[in-house]
Amino acid sequence: MRSRDKLLIAGTLIFGVIVVTGIYISQESQKFKNYHESFVRSFVKDMSKSWELDDFTDRLSDEFKEQAQSEEGLAQLEKFSVLGSIIEINNLIIGKYFSGSDGTLGEFIMNGRFDREDVLIKITVHEQSGEAKVRGVTINRLDEAGRQIEF
């Protein structure tokens, strides 16, 4: 075989591995979404009932719980409380997804309709040893065009 043919075969094999890996990751992220979607929905619902940290701390990772209990975290929660309660969650998708030796991490992105405003919500979930915990929450307002703006 000529070196050009070998190079073509190697390139085809590498491309095939990349495609198969992409399909596998897509399927795994979809499984993660399906498995944890109800957890995320109930978390948002419980969080917005009163915006009191005690109502949902059992579902936070230790690191995020520490951040949420800080002065800055409590002030952020106070800002979010003006939204009121969640009425509806739409367009829930899985964004970033990572699986490694420390467990699986997925970012759930959704539109949320609250009593007073529509927002974009991002919830990061970390699953390790079969237990899911919230590792981060981001809530952004949306402008008239639907673009995110800081809360």
Question: 90 CB contacts (<8 Å, ≥6 apart)?
Answer: 110, 111, 112, 113
Give bridge partners of residue 119 from the DSSP assignment.
Answer: 112, 141
CA-to-CA distance for 89 and 123, rounded, in angstroms?
A: 13
Select from 61, 54, 45, 29 the least CA-distant residue to 133: 61
Residues 4-32: tens digit of each pLDDT: 888 888 788 888 888 877 777 778 788 88
Phi, psi dihedral angles at 115 (to 5 degrees) = -55, -40
Select from 15, 27, 17 the least CA-distant residue to 97: 27
pLDDT given at position 28 = 79
Q: Which CATH architecture has domain 3-149?
A: Roll (3.10)
**151: confidence class by pLDDT, cuts 50, 70, 90:** low
CA-to-CA distance for 151 and 137, rounded, in angstroms?
A: 12
Q: Is the pLDDT of residue 119 over 70?
A: yes
